Structure 1
């Protein structure tokens, strides 16, 4: 079979749980001091069946922490939620579950969990369906864009990309699979595609069945007694001989009807085959076809959303329950208090239930166990801030037009040193109820190790290492609101849109649509409001930073930039003046008034992300003195940097280089923007999506966190912030194995320092320039030759040659 192979990354698993670690679980057997409770089987009235009622308590449930390995330079790691599961299959004793964060496997014997994403070779992280082709020994995963991943061993994903690459069809979502060993039948939103698995190529595609319109969705597929059965969504059930030479002929496909016993008043929604039986699900009945005729297998009290056909029996899922039926009767039902989407039979009596919000739930002898990898509660992430091994993620707080999106998601907090995720919300008591909704902004202050969490409606929260320090609202602290209304019925009106500190220690907050939209809190705790009269009519402040001179730069949505200067009186925060930087010569020089990002670099320049690329204000001091200065565009390959690209985020690393998030991927550019060092897209990297919401950098480690519209991922950069003195030198990996490690990271440098790699006898091997506080060595000498095994020293000298740090490491050449 023709195969396209993408190897798993050598050193980067991306797993939250490492091999050998146990999955978090919580079992309820019945009231007892051991925290367990046993459910009871009760007779169902008027039925020869049993009803199993089991309640799963989710409160306080937390997956076990994972030890997080240090990333090597250039490696990726995903931080994805697997709470929203979709469907699952069993293969070789493992349960594989697709989620909105990719895929994870669970071993019931060892309780080991492994997660898979684009880092491990998946083509995406938002699959639509999964299928185990037992005769072929492979698991197939379909996506909404038509892509198909498959594997016999999950360490090596392979791909069928023909549907995705086809330009004739627009809606290519994969809905269902069926296979007979050689041929794979794929139900899509435009019809049926048949793959020849021996060649890896499409054999045929069918877009019309009978006299019906073409390109209708095929929602379910089954193979039964030499025929292919498909459910044409909203139309009915069709069949054709599997070995017919021209299945593209619409006349070959016959619709099942009352002639074969199919009730005319019931529409088939899903089908599944088992031996000599073909089962069909309608809204009120499970039907079975035997010996060429349909009969009722079991009536349904309420509609199912999924049909389960296996050797253990026939059943289905319905919101909060899974039911198993016998012919004409209900065998038993177990309740799970979670929205059940699919169930995977395992062994004689176990089921693994995919749920909409609670991960995977194991049902075994009336005991429910929750199984989910460690991760954030959801993959929503509009902003991210990091520092000192801590990561704060604001999930979302507003909709596409910046209206409040009231939600109780809280803020997601991750500690890299121990691999634990904590949801900061009011449910677990981490945040006060007065302000624990709609978080859309996060700011991390490295010096105080304090994070500031901005709610798009309720105010500001101050935390340190995930613990509440204080909170600020319109009721408690007089924070501004829309139309200056602060009543219990108007508590969604304090929309924090920007958070930053000035050089004098004042905390500045901007507010969207508020009057006034800008306030400051002094180091002594006093609040000062900038008069609303300083602002133009109809202001719409959606973000803000403060420059090195204390001027406040604000994005005024679709109206350019507002700059509030303190008028040379930094002790008076309310007597400054306002400048408006817009398009036009001597008006600010912006290419468009659509501004989406602001960043202050290590030289004090202000970098601006617009709807037409990146522009820079190189003289913020003059602007702070009240002069209008025009922006300039960095020039890359004779063009303006990222010209005509929508720039959504800019972050500055320890080497003063710029990480730029766009709607077309992630870029790393040089200090002055005249060179593109990296360009990452979903096509050439594990990046989850080309649409970047935000970029945050842990300046102490150099890890670059990328918030996308599909989740959070990170890249280990090669620049860190220098600590201003010659401290501890951290060299990793140590020891270095040249057949496994492509580079050596030397961290602990001073900005602009020279790093010399030498032998212990003092022979110079290589001289490197540090990016911020980090240098990277490729294991070669000055002549480009790979070095021999031995002990090496890293000598770091500041730019004056006055201070030297020493690190030692071993290298094993293989």
Structure 2
């Protein structure tokens, strides 16, 4: 099976702009861009963050956050740990600092799924989709990795769903809900003490949350709510567990469960209906009734908190796609918000924070903020006191974690985010065009193309003009050659697409593949003279050049490739040869222009293969 190739590029540097000692490499590894400082770079502008020689830095999309936890410390005011799809970051609010935590810094994988803070041991705990659990110090240093769940012989979903503390029972234990049951981990010994299969190992339940209520463990799952006595001697046995039978749907998928004052219970059930995906049910005085708490059909998060022991000290926040509504213990709405710091809420997780004031010998606590894991702009702080002291924090990064190709020149880095499957069929990625100038990321959102397909799909390759590093070309698998001007200025404006080159305005041609004729580009590379070499997939003339003066020329290969072969990656070598990959193991094409790319009469080429018959 042939999969898309990742790349490792040395950075190119122009004299006068920078002096290079050693090399800086950019590696496309799966879903991340990693940068290695092999030696120190001295430049006329501050192009790179200061970091030790020989270290890696990640560039991941940190703006789409999914979970948060406040990490308190005896030494200071603590910090917020925030989880994204691929990594974490920590925010120290009062210092206004942001620090990344990824596989570069010891994270065991790129799919974290759950967070918790061990206040007693001052450890940040991270669960992963693989079942691995990582432990980090309060400074973000990796301490230990627990592999027991991931390496177990259990057949099923081992992902960590949530990490739950029940300090009233044992502050040394953490209750880990997973895709198969509940695992109890001793944090001081770093071992597993018990595993609960609510309906036995032949009927594994995805456990979405856990609480202790009135002497019982309560677990909500993808098939109902279960409870068992805290003192039961064999909680690993399904006989210890009983299903709640008085709820609206006994075997429903319950995403949230909240025990409220006055013996009230709020249940959030996923319906499976795309038009009405969520139901809220409120139990008061022993009776279940629907609870309307949202303008939207979708509930994204529910969080409850209290600043004291009285019912009046309790609040619950319910978030849909566009708003947060806060209710008191009487279930009256006391606040409605749509944005914080000018950013739409787009909640994935949230938590209350408190303010403590001292009046003489009296300490008074009140609700201060709601911190929000926002799916568009990182970590938000929404002031709920009326003082409007909102804020938000987002580490710099690309818009998505998709990397097909990378090119770099001086302090300019651009990423092609397209994709193909093992049959070389496009995956129709429509994430626009993004790159980094210095330490700032730029993103050009997707635009309408010029063919009958929606948007510009699958930018496969990227190459930066050596004569003007602010001039960039992308090759799309169906739209042709995309020209981008990256020099933001009052004259040129922000980075933008300035031209699309295809069969209508260049020598590029349509190829019949992917279900319809399209102008597919599989390889790009500039030579030292500023000529851009282009492979045109499945076209009659598969190799083209755009000269530095902007004119296009096709190379006359005739029927050299036959009907089954086409050109992919391109490398314009310093000796004037142009090398092209023939995908699917068909070898290499070496093309010699005799240093006259505009004159094809003196050209020569060879196809190199490992087969004597070809």
Shorter-chain TM-score bucket reads 0.7 to 0.9
Contact persistence 2:467–2:530 (CA under 8 A): no
Instruction: Indicate the residue corresponding to 2:394 in structure 1.
Output: 372
Instruction: Indicate the residue corresponding to 1:218 in structure 2.
Output: 207
In the alignment, the residues of structure 1 paired with residue 592 and residue 429 of structure 2 have an alpha-carbon distance, to the nearest angstrom, of 37
Instruction: Indicate the residue corresponding to 1:517 in structure 2.
Output: 542
Contact persistence 1:435–1:471 (CA under 8 A): no
Contact persistence 2:466–2:526 (CA under 8 A): no
Change (3 A) 1:530 1:359: same
Deviation readout 1:281-304 (Å, 9 max, x if unpaired): 2332243589xx675594445442
Change (3 A) 1:400 1:308: farther
In the alignment, the residues of structure 2 paired with residue 529 and residue 271 of structure 1 have an alpha-carbon distance, to the nearest angstrom, of 65
1:271 is aligned to 2:257: yes
Contact persistence 2:483–2:500 (CA under 8 A): yes
Instruction: Indicate the residue corresponding to 1:243 in structure 2.
Output: 231
Contact persistence 2:266–2:280 (CA under 8 A): no
Instruction: Indicate the residue corresponding to 1:341 in structure 2.
Output: 348
- The alpha-carbon deviation at position 577 of structure 1 amounts to 5.4
Q: How does 1:319-338 map to 2 (within 5 A)?
A: 319-326=321-328, 327-336=330-339, 337=344
1:280 is aligned to 2:299: no
In the alignment, the residues of structure 2 paired with residue 331 and residue 117 of structure 1 have an alpha-carbon distance, to the nearest angstrom, of 39
Deviates more, 1:188-197 or 1:449-458: 449-458
Contact persistence 1:479–1:494 (CA under 8 A): no
In the alignment, the residues of structure 2 paired with residue 289 and residue 192 of structure 1 have an alpha-carbon distance, to the nearest angstrom, of 29
Instruction: Indicate the residue corresponding to 2:443 in structure 1.
Output: 423
- The alpha-carbon deviation at position 342 of structure 1 amounts to 1.4
1:81 is aligned to 2:107: no
Deviation readout 1:713-756 (Å, 9 max, x if unpaired): xxxxxxxxxxxxxxxxxxxxxxxxxxxxxxxxxxxxxxxxxxxx
5+ unaligned residues in a row in structure 1: which ranges?
Answer: 1-64, 428-433, 588-814
Instruction: Indicate the residue corresponding to 1:554 in structure 2.
Output: 580
In the alignment, the residues of structure 1 paired with residue 148 and residue 218 of structure 2 have an alpha-carbon distance, to the nearest angstrom, of 23
What's the secondary structure of 1:442's corresponding residue? strand
What's the secondary structure of 1:123's corresponding residue? coil
In the alignment, the residues of structure 1 paired with residue 63 and residue 53 of structure 2 have an alpha-carbon distance, to the nearest angstrom, of 30
Match of 2:409 among 387, 391, 403: 387
TM-score, normalising length: structure 1: 0.56
Change (3 A) 1:402 1:320: farther
Instruction: Indicate the residue corresponding to 2:451 in structure 1.
Output: none
In the alignment, the residues of structure 1 paired with residue 528 and residue 46 of structure 2 have an alpha-carbon distance, to the nearest angstrom, of 38
What's the secondary structure of 1:141's corresponding residue? strand
Contact persistence 2:464–2:526 (CA under 8 A): no
In the alignment, the residues of structure 2 paired with residue 267 and residue 472 of structure 1 have an alpha-carbon distance, to the nearest angstrom, of 48
Change (3 A) 1:296 1:68: farther
Match of 1:187 among 154, 163, 177: 177
Match of 1:155 among 132, 136, 140: 140
1:316 is aligned to 2:292: no
What's the secondary structure of 1:284's corresponding residue? strand
In the alignment, the residues of structure 1 paired with residue 120 and residue 333 of structure 2 have an alpha-carbon distance, to the nearest angstrom, of 31
Contact persistence 1:281–1:287 (CA under 8 A): no
Change (3 A) 1:479 1:143: farther
Q: How does 1:724-803 map to 2 (within 5 A)?
A: none
In the alignment, the residues of structure 1 paired with residue 485 and residue 57 of structure 2 have an alpha-carbon distance, to the nearest angstrom, of 26
Contact persistence 2:224–2:251 (CA under 8 A): no
What's the secondary structure of 1:536's corresponding residue? coil
Instruction: Indicate the residue corresponding to 2:520 in structure 1.
Output: 495
Instruction: Indicate the residue corresponding to 2:607 in structure 1.
Output: 580
Q: How does 1:461-480 map to 2 (within 5 A)?
A: 461=483, 463=485, 471-474=499-502, 477-480=505-508
Change (3 A) 1:405 1:266: closer
Contact persistence 2:444–2:496 (CA under 8 A): no
TM-score, normalising length: structure 2: 0.72
The root-mean-square deviation of aligned C-alpha atoms, in Å, is 3.6
Contact persistence 1:231–1:268 (CA under 8 A): yes
Contact persistence 1:461–1:472 (CA under 8 A): yes
Change (3 A) 1:300 1:274: closer
In the alignment, the residues of structure 1 paired with residue 217 and residue 46 of structure 2 have an alpha-carbon distance, to the nearest angstrom, of 46
- The alpha-carbon deviation at position 440 of structure 1 amounts to 2.4
Deviates more, 1:120-129 or 1:546-555: 546-555
Contact persistence 1:377–1:423 (CA under 8 A): yes
Contact persistence 1:528–1:574 (CA under 8 A): no
In the alignment, the residues of structure 1 paired with residue 334 and residue 566 of structure 2 have an alpha-carbon distance, to the nearest angstrom, of 60
Aligned length: 505
Change (3 A) 1:323 1:403: farther
In the alignment, the residues of structure 2 paired with residue 70 and residue 356 of structure 1 have an alpha-carbon distance, to the nearest angstrom, of 29
Instruction: Indicate the residue corresponding to 1:25 in structure 2.
Output: none
In the alignment, the residues of structure 2 paired with residue 170 and residue 66 of structure 1 have an alpha-carbon distance, to the nearest angstrom, of 50
Q: How does 1:226-237 map to 2 (within 5 A)?
A: 226-233=215-222, 235-237=223-225
Match of 2:371 among 352, 366, 369: 352
1:107 is aligned to 2:77: no
Instruction: Indicate the residue corresponding to 1:202 in structure 2.
Output: 192
Instruction: Indicate the residue corresponding to 1:565 in structure 2.
Output: 591
Instruction: Indicate the residue corresponding to 1:166 in structure 2.
Output: 152
In the alignment, the residues of structure 1 paired with residue 593 and residue 337 of structure 2 have an alpha-carbon distance, to the nearest angstrom, of 69
- The alpha-carbon deviation at position 226 of structure 1 amounts to 2.9
Larger radius of gyration: 1
In the alignment, the residues of structure 1 paired with residue 293 and residue 497 of structure 2 have an alpha-carbon distance, to the nearest angstrom, of 54
In the alignment, the residues of structure 2 paired with residue 133 and residue 101 of structure 1 have an alpha-carbon distance, to the nearest angstrom, of 22
In the alignment, the residues of structure 1 paired with residue 262 and residue 191 of structure 2 have an alpha-carbon distance, to the nearest angstrom, of 30
What's the secondary structure of 1:535's corresponding residue? coil
- The alpha-carbon deviation at position 129 of structure 1 amounts to 1.7
Contact persistence 2:117–2:125 (CA under 8 A): yes
Contact persistence 1:222–1:228 (CA under 8 A): yes
Change (3 A) 1:339 1:399: farther
Q: How does 1:431-442 map to 2 (within 5 A)?
A: 438-442=458-462
What's the secondary structure of 2:254's corresponding residue? coil
- The alpha-carbon deviation at position 472 of structure 1 amounts to 4.7
In the alignment, the residues of structure 2 paired with residue 137 and residue 505 of structure 1 have an alpha-carbon distance, to the nearest angstrom, of 56
Instruction: Indicate the residue corresponding to 1:452 in structure 2.
Output: 472
Instruction: Indicate the residue corresponding to 2:436 in structure 1.
Output: 414
1:120 is aligned to 2:141: no
Change (3 A) 1:356 1:90: same
In the alignment, the residues of structure 2 paired with residue 141 and residue 276 of structure 1 have an alpha-carbon distance, to the nearest angstrom, of 34
1:508 is aligned to 2:533: yes
In the alignment, the residues of structure 1 paired with residue 190 and residue 565 of structure 2 have an alpha-carbon distance, to the nearest angstrom, of 57
Deviation readout 1:211-268 (Å, 9 max, x if unpaired): x9432311222222332221231x211111233222111111111112xx66659653
In the alignment, the residues of structure 2 paired with residue 582 and residue 425 of structure 1 have an alpha-carbon distance, to the nearest angstrom, of 41
Deviation readout 1:385-411 (Å, 9 max, x if unpaired): 123232222222555544445555333
Instruction: Indicate the residue corresponding to 1:529 in structure 2.
Output: 554
Contact persistence 1:193–1:204 (CA under 8 A): yes
Change (3 A) 1:247 1:392: same
Change (3 A) 1:300 1:70: closer
- The alpha-carbon deviation at position 78 of structure 1 amounts to 1.6
Q: How does 1:32-47 map to 2 (within 5 A)?
A: none
